[in-house]
Structure 1
Amino acid sequence: RQGKLVTFGIVPTAPETGFGYIACGAADGHIRQVRGFVEKPSLEVAQGYLASGDYLWNSGMFCFTAGAALAAFREHCPALFAAGEACWAASRGEGSATTEIDADSFAGLEDISIDYAIMEKAANVAVVPASFDWSDIGSWNAMSQLVEPDENNNRAIGETITFASHGCYIHGDDRLIAALGVDDLIVVDTPDALLISHKDHTQDVKKVVQKLKTMGHDSYRLHRTVSRPWGTYTVLEEGDRYKIKRIEVKPGASLSLQMHHHRNEHWIVVSGMARVTNGEKGEFLVHTNESTYIPAGHKHRLENPGVIDLVMIEVQSGEYLGEDDIVRFADNYGR
């Protein structure tokens, strides 16, 4: 209410080197001024922070009025503030339940955290020491601490078998994982990717993400299951010139009227009913266990006219199967 930018600091219980810290200043009741923010320290420095009593873990949680935040951005990041205003002005959403952020202007915004942008620069920052249970699950090491260890200090989620292994964290979604004669490894197997790391290098996952981004690899920005305003799609399998998806469309929702230059699509309805628009064939219904074929170059649309979810399998084939091979002619979501 006084216009402060407030953050919540967690009272440290150990000299953690994987967390950021808040340096506290003078106290005003249970609220303290903020002298500064400190990045992940060495063990020796973290031990000094813990002993001093003047440092809190940076939870990354903030509370402020919209007006105070906008004023801080306007003062400390004027270029970012102006670019954000321009992006918002270019975005669409009038008359729709969703707002589609303008992609081109958004891509030009500076990639910066709120800590660097305003919290470390503003003078009106306060911190409330908080004692609720909290952990910065920012690494797989931290995630592993939520799992009870076995007699060899191995921790596991999913179906796992370990022999002569110690101090490992194994996280599996779909498959059996066996670890033989290994120590202090992090193994995370998900539908998207497999990660194998020594415990001392789990903070370097961001380097992998940056490498994927440099390569233009889809996995840095998309999960295997992707949410859309109309529902979801999951990539089940893909290879040279083919891709198989599971598509789920919410009742009453529809995809855009669209066209692809380079791929053909086969649609098989698994459950529910689909209303399909397909080139010169016009509009027709496809029932459970029925299918239809969408040739490249045909305008087409998929809708769910029913009251239950529409689930279908889509088999794509062609010389290019990227998600950017799409021309939209009409869309309910302003894309």
Structure 2
Amino acid sequence: MVAVILSGGAGTRLWPVSRELYPKPFMRLPDGQSLLQKALLRAVSIPGVREVLTVTGQEHYFSTKNEYAATELPEGLELSYVVEPLRRNTAPAIALAALHTAQRHGPEAVMLVLSSDQLVDNLAAFVQAVQQAEGAARQGYLVTFGIRPTYPATGFGYIQQGEALGEGVFRVERFVEKPDLETARGYLDQGTFSWNAGIFCFQAGAYLEALKTLSPEVYEAVLRCWESSPKSSPSYIDAASFKAVPNISVDYAVMEKSDRVAVVPAAFGWSDLGSWDATAELVPPDAQGNRIFGDVVLVDAHDTFVQSEGRVVAAIGVEKLVIVDTPDALLVARRDRVQDVKKVVEQLQAKQHQAANRHRTVQRPWGSYTLLEEGPNFTIRRLVVRPGQSQLLQLHHHRSEHWVVVSGTARVVRGEQELWLRTNESINIPAATPHRLSNPGLIDLVIIEVQSGEYLGEDDVVRLETSEELLLESGRGD
């Protein structure tokens, strides 16, 4: 079995923590792990999984790699990647994964397709459900997972089960869209409906054949992309041909059209964390019903969720609020209005405000940088270069840079010179001077960088060497 993780998304419902370039899968939960790390650990818990294939976008590829590198994984596990140049929804993403799987392991190989932004509480029940699904998948069924409803939810699609096909597996009678409250109550009373979890299990060849038959335009477009793209890992999908791929979900393209679809209704403590209200439920309440995550002080507060990423947050005399504080954005909302957070993001996007897209900390192939302060003609950033990593040789026409080593050892190329810097040592990089920063050590290299100049835009960079990773970094600065 190959576990496939779909990692990406726009990140609107959990703003300001989730953003375009750092969406929900990368959110840190109270236990310190991200949703993406939990999905990876869930995947490798399935007996027989030796490869985890992640389909992600170019804007999320490096963040995904960093999350995996920080996760303790079993020996012999292979991590592979398919990198999409833009979003085209789940049907094309799964098709790319199926082509990869069929090429490497044959069309009869079974794929378990997981979302990167869901939670599962009962791992043993999840493994049991996967094993039931695998049996049906090996008989040629396209299997989806249903979650036994615990309340009349109106925010999920539903699946109605039909005749039994085996232990714990049923033929799908029909898929239904998100219902109104009265209809949802009826579904709950009937007992044959489950929430659509967006988790799938099928043979690679069975999915490709179904896509070819039921949505031939999607199949042909994805196949052209695959044939035009490198077959290494990461496999960077050809951007020119991928633009022609239809944007469509796997449910619309295949699952709702096929007569070979089965469902495994299960109860393994599933949540898609679709709002801040749902996220708050992960934190135990105090005697007043408040839930806090971070450095928070509450006085005469009730039924309020507060999350702080650094600063002290104090709230006095409030109730039924959600307060989420990040270094560059603050959200305050009534708990019954958290679904409207996406409207805030829409307004920020309309203003082209960077808070809709990125945090002050931005991931790079070599590590990350954090914006500390900026003003007219200057920017101050903290750079973290991981052990063994290096920036590409480059220069800037309009700005000079001053680097101070906070910790670690730096190897710096400046023009024709190669210099070594240690803690509390510094160096100037004049404008138009070729330079490269590397970390030859065993610990993170931390640098405080001061940029000075009349123009400090991220596009003021001239690459003097290339690499495979530059395919993704082109045009995004250093």
TM-score range with shorter-chain normalisation?
Answer: 0.7 to 0.9
**Would you say 1:328 and 2:466 are equivalent positions?**
no
SS in 2 for 1:313: strand
Structure 2 equivalent of residue 16 of structure 1: 153
Larger Rg: 1
- Identify if the C-alpha distance between structure 1 residues 119 and 243 changes in structure 2 by more than 3 Å, giving closer, same or farther: farther
Cα RMSD between the aligned structures? 2.9
- Whether the 8 Å CA contact 1:98–1:333 is kept in 2: the answer is no
Structure 2 distance, partners of 1:317, 1:77, is 54
The reply on whether 1:57 has 2:192 as its aligned counterpart is no
* Correspondence for 1:2: 139
Corresponding letter in the other structure for 2:179: P
Shift of 1:136: 2.0
Which moved further from structure 2: 78-87 or 120-129? 78-87
Match of 1:288 among 419, 423, 428: 423
Q: Deviating runs (4+, > 6 A) in structure 1?
A: none
SS in 1 for 2:278: helix
Query: 1:67 corresponds to which letter in structure 2?
Result: G
- The SS at the match of 1:137 is coil
**Structure 2 counterpart of 1:262, which letter?**
H
Q: Distance in 2 between matches of 1:72 and 1:223?
A: 40
SS at match of 1:330: coil
Given the alignment of the two structures, is residue 307 of structure 1 paired with residue 442 of structure 2, yes or no?
A: yes
Partner of 2:81 in structure 1? Answer: none
Specify the alignment match of 2:368 in structure 1.
232
Which one of the candidate residues 255, 259, 266 is aligned to 2:395? 259
Name the CA distance, whole Å, in 2 between partners of 1:119 and 1:295.
59
Trace 1:156-235 onto structure 2 (pairs within 5 A).
Answer: 156-235=292-371
- Name which of structure 1's ranges 316-325 and 293-302 shifts more when overlaid on structure 2: 316-325
3-state DSSP class of the match of 1:49? helix
Inter-CA distance 194–327: structure 2 relative to 1 (3 Å threshold): same
- Are the aligned partners of 2:398 and 2:455 in contact in 1 as well (CA < 8 Å)? yes
- Matched with 2:184 is 46
1:229, 1:333 within 8 Å by CA — same for their partners in 2? no
Measured in 2, the distance between the counterparts of 1:81 and 1:315 equals 50
Cα deviation, 1:53-90, whole Å, max 9, x if unaligned, reads: 12112222222233333334444454444554455556
Looking at structure 1, the residues matched to 350 and 254 of structure 2 have their Cα atoms a distance apart, in angstroms, of: 28
Contact 2:411 2:421 in 1 (8 A): yes
Within 5 Å, which residues of 2 pair with 1:66-85? 66-85=204-223
Comparing 243-252 with 97-106, greater Cα deviation is found at 97-106
The answer on 1:318 being equivalent to 2:456 is no
- Deviation for aligned residue 1:31: 1.0
Secondary structure of the corresponding residue to residue 310 of structure 2: coil
C-alpha distance in 2 between matches for 1:22 and 1:312: 53
For residues 126-159 of structure 1, the C-alpha deviation after alignment (integer angstroms, 9 at most, x for no partner) is: 2111121222211111111122223332222123
Tell me the secondary structure at the aligned position of residue 298 of structure 1: coil
Report matched runs for 1:8-157 at 5 Å: 8-29=145-166, 30-88=168-226, 98-101=234-237, 110-157=246-293
Q: Which amino acid aligns with 2:407?
A: S
Choose 207-216 or 281-290, whichever is displaced more: 207-216
Q: Secondary structure at the match of 1:68?
A: helix
The AA in structure 1 aligned to 2:145 is F
Q: 1:92 to 1:137 in 2, by over 3 A?
A: same
What's the % identity of the aligned pairs? 54
Alignment coverage as a number of residue pairs: 332
Is 2:159–2:194's contact at 8 Å kept on the other side of the alignment?
yes
Partner Cα distance (1:177, 1:61) in 2: 38
Q: Aligned partners of 1:107, 1:263: CA distance in 2, in Å?
A: 36
What is the deviation of 1:253? 1.6
2-side partners of 1:221 and 1:71: how far apart? 37
Unaligned runs of 5+ in 1: none
